[in-house]
Each structure stands twice: as structure tokens, then as C-alpha cells.
Amino acid sequence: MQKRKVDLVVIGGGPAGLAAALAADEEKVQNIVLIERDIELGGILHQCIHNGFGLHYFGEELTGPEYAQRFIDWVAETKIEIKTNTMVLEIAAKGQEKWVYAVNRTDGMVIYQTKAVVLAMGCRERTREAIRIPGSRPAGIFTAGTVQRYINIEGYLPGKKVLILGSGDIGLIMARRMTLEGSQVLGVLEIMPYSNGLTRNIVQCLEDYQIPLLLSHTVVQIHGFERIEGVTIARVDANLVPIPGTERYQAVDTLLLSVGLIPENELTRMAEIGLDKVTGGALVNQNRETSIPGIFACGNVLQVHDLVDYVTEEANLAGRAAARYIDSQRVQGEQIEISPGNNVRYVIPQKIQEPITDPIDFYFRVTEPMSVGEIQFWVGKEEIYRTKKKFLKPAEMIRITVSFTNWEKMIQVGKLSVVIKEVS
């Protein structure tokens, strides 16, 4: 077993990990190790061969691999040490000390003793089992991301007569992709009365190919014992319960699921870092620092992002903050808690902590769609910030930057609430 001392370990080599490592390097952090379990850097972007990446960050439309490659090239120009095909098994923290255990076939087990850690492990897809669809358990049921990898990276097609459950972006993109590969995509079912994907994906991936989107519908039973043969679908009521009498059988040979992503926080949990039940990610302050000082989180491991541009931005923040921490080993001070109010599902960061940096970026999502909403920030009974936004959808993350003037008061109250009011 090798033991090594370093300044920063970044776990995960997707867009979040890449940007965090680069940001820390720019801030002159010396020994940075970037660990990725896959054989190459880039994370989930490798399989996203469609374009639509980088509009905000680079002002141009790139494919996933193109977006990733820019960062991979930049990292190659630095002295950031890259460990691919290496899996982190555990993070441990005690006082100021932190250890990261990683394995691969050439170095064996290595323990990195490090000053700071950035968590950038991304997310995984929710499965058929996790959403508890009853029925038999045949082959032919896949998550959309798995199929995306089979088709785009390996060149295999999983089936010919396909139904997609869930209108998440990956599902929409795969509806188009499988159609182009000659499979018959019968439709996309969504249990909610609205879609969970970006509007541009509904238009470009379904409407342009005449693939029906059935809202308020779900799969209630799976049939077939060896390979899937069909599903029973039904309409659901306002409480998302299937309405008796609306069931109908649909023959398929493949079922794709695009029913949500779950931040991959097993390592985080092992280190006993505080987690947010709603986001599934760590609880963080404005520097994306978790409940353990010196451990930061960014990208999909913190909250599921719909745009990679925001991932990069968040990772820059975390990387710079990690650099400051390594420099000064500062401990966390007084804090202001941020509580999500009316029609706010969650807010990142969940708290603001001294020393305060200004301005602060907030990312959040609505619980229900709203055509025009006024976002309000309240400290006690005082409203300190408001702004209007149009077309609010749970699927589209809202990002705003706010400068505050009255920190003293906020710290006194200790709490900041964010609410969204409908504007007619």
C-alpha cells in the first residue's frame, strides 16, 4: 500500500472535476491529483454526441465530446496529475486531516493524504426498480443513459420497438437517436402533467419526428419472461395514481427509462458529510464547501444540472475556494441558513457562511411550473431582493447572482428565505 501526501484530490474527471482542478491550478495549488474511474476524462459528456453544450460558457454550440475536449486539453498543459482507470473507494476525514483511498491495476491501493478534496462524482440514473414498476423481470429494460452508451460509444442497438418512460432530457435525446438508427419509437410517457425535459429537446427530438408525448401517463405493469414483450400503460389522476379503466396493452421489445438522476454520493455518505434530502447532494455554503471544512462538491454530485455550462461555473467556484482553503486552512464561521419557501424545491447553497464573499450565485428549481414568477428574498420580515422570471419549469434550473448590503442584519436573523410568487 502506497501513501502519498498531496494538496488537493479531485474525485471525478467529468466537466465538474476538470474545471475544479483547472481553477485550483490557476490559483497556484501545487500538488493536484485528478482521479477518474473511467479509462478517459470527460465524464458523461463522451456519450452526448448531440450538440447544445457550451452556449452560455463559450457562446457557441458544441457537442459533448467537443466541450469536454477543451478542458481535457487545458488540463494536459498543466502539471495536474491525472489518474484514469482509478476508482476512489473511500474518503476519511479527521480534524484537518483527510485521506482518499484509490485503487487501480498498476499502482494497487494508494492512500492520498490531502489538505482538501473536491467531490465531482456526477450522478447515476434512476432504475425501473427504484421507481417500483411491478411485473416480470425480463431483459430489454434499460435506463436511457445506458442505451446512449451502447449506441453512441459501442455501436450496439438494444431493440427495435421502443417505448420511453419519462420525459427527462436523456430520454428525449434517445427518442431521436433511436429513430435515426431505424428503431420504431412508439412514444414517450410522462407521469406528470408537464414534461421534465428542456423545451428545445421536446421540439427538436419529439415534434420534429412526430413521436407522441403522452402526459399524465405511466407504465403500470411489465410483461414477458425472457425478453420484454409488452407493457400495460395507464393514465394517472392528479395524485399520480393510475385511473382504473384507462389501462391498455402496448407490445414493445424495449423499454427505456428516463426517470431521473441521483447524485452519486456513496463516498460522501461514508465520510459522514451532511446531505440534503431534496437534492440528494451535500449541504454546502456559498463556496460549495460541505459540512466538513476543506471538502467541496460541485457538478451533478451536488445537484443534477441540466446545462453543463453551469456545472463548469459551479466547479470554478469550488476549485477556487479549495485553493483558498489550502492557503489558509480557514475554519467555517457564523452562518445564515437559506430556506426554500413557496414553489421553491431547493436552493443551492443551503447556507452562507463567514467569511462572506460577494456577490453570491444561487441555483434553484421550482416545484411547479409558473408562467411568470417573482423571486423574493426575505430576511425576517424584510424583503431584501426581488426579480421577475418568465416560463419557470421544474426541468430548468434558475440561476441568479445577488449582492447583499446588510450582512450584519442577516447574520443576526440567521436565516434567509427564498419564495416565488405568481405574477398575473
Ligand X SMILES: Cc1cc2nc3c(=O)[nH]c(=O)nc-3n(C[C@H](O)[C@H](O)[C@H](O)COP(=O)(O)OP(=O)(O)OC[C@H]3O[C@@H](n4cnc5c(N)ncnc54)[C@H](O)[C@@H]3O)c2cc1C
Q: Which residues sit at the interface with another protein, rule CB under 8 A?
A: 1, 37, 85, 87, 89-90, 101, 103-109, 111, 124-125, 127-130, 132, 134-140, 142-143, 145-146, 149-151, 154-160, 181-182, 220-222, 225-227, 242, 253-254, 262, 266, 269
Minimum CB–partner distance for residue 380 and ligand X (Å): 35
Integer Cα distance of 230 and 253 in angstroms:
7
Interacting partner of 136 out of another protein, ligand X, none (Cβ under 5 to 8 A depending on kind): another protein
Please choose, out of 41-49, 156-164, 219-227, 236-244, the segment that lies near ligand X by the rule CB under 6 A: 41-49
Q: How many CB atoms lie within 10 A of CB 123?
A: 23
Q: Is 280 within 8 Å of 260 (Cβ atoms)? A: no
Integer Cα distance of 273 and 290 in angstroms:
7
Q: DSSP assignment, residue 330?
A: P
Integer Cα distance of 84 and 107 in angstroms:
11
C-alpha cell at 372: 411568470
Return the half-sphere exposure (C-beta side, CA atoms, 13 A cut-off) of residue 135.
24
Interacting partner of 419 out of ligand X, another protein, none (Cβ under 5 to 8 A depending on kind): none
Nearest to 171 by CA among 132, 219, 137, 138: 219
Please name the residues in contact with 328: beta carbons below 8 A apart, sequence gap of 6 or more. none
Interacting partner of 170 out of ligand X, another protein, none (Cβ under 5 to 8 A depending on kind): ligand X
C-alpha cell at 271: 465520510
Minimum CB–partner distance for residue 200 and ligand X (Å): 9
Q: Is 138 within 8 Å of 225 (Cβ atoms)? A: yes
Interacting partner of 181 out of another protein, ligand X, none (Cβ under 5 to 8 A depending on kind): another protein
Indicate whether 314 belongs to the interface with ligand X (CB under 6 A).
Answer: no
Nearest to 315 by CA among 296, 293, 331: 296
Residues pairing with 386 in the sheet:
376
> Which of 264, 337, 361, 368: binder of ligand X (CB under 6 A)?
264
Minimum CB–partner distance for residue 34 and ligand X (Å): 9
- The bridge status of strand 360-366 relative to strand 344-348 is antiparallel
Residue recorded with cell 466538513: 292
Minimum CB–partner distance for residue 312 and another protein (Å): 24
Give the amino acid at 409.
Answer: K
Q: Is 262 within 8 Å of 279 (Cβ atoms)? A: no
Q: Is 164 within 8 Å of 256 (Cβ atoms)? A: yes
Q: Phi/psi of residue 327, each to 5°? A: -65, -45
Minimum CB–partner distance for residue 328 and another protein (Å): 31
Indicate whether 16 belongs to the interface with ligand X (CB under 6 A).
Answer: yes
Indicate whether 120 belongs to the interface with ligand X (CB under 6 A).
Answer: yes
> Which of 13, 159, 197, 224: binder of ligand X (CB under 6 A)?
13
> Which of 10, 11, 80, 141: binder of ligand X (CB under 6 A)?
11
Please choose, out of 8-16, 21-29, 244-252, 362-370, the segment that lies near ligand X by the rule CB under 6 A: 8-16
Measured at the CA of 192, the angle between CA 147 and CA 264, to 5 degrees, comes to 45
Shorter beta-carbon distance to ligand X: residue 236 or 398: 398
Interacting partner of 221 out of ligand X, another protein, none (Cβ under 5 to 8 A depending on kind): another protein
Q: Is 345 within 8 Å of 373 (Cβ atoms)? A: no
Please choose, out of 150-158, 216-224, 274-282, 308-316, the segment that lies near ligand X by the rule CB under 6 A: 308-316
Indicate whether 197 belongs to the interface with ligand X (CB under 6 A).
Answer: no
Q: Total number of residues binding ligand X (CB under 6 A)? A: 36
Minimum CB–partner distance for residue 6 and another protein (Å): 18
Interacting partner of 45 out of ligand X, another protein, none (Cβ under 5 to 8 A depending on kind): ligand X
- Footprint on this chain of ligand X (rule: CB under 6 A): 11-17, 35-38, 43-45, 48, 52-53, 87-88, 120-122, 145, 148, 169-170, 264, 267, 299-301, 305, 307-309, 311
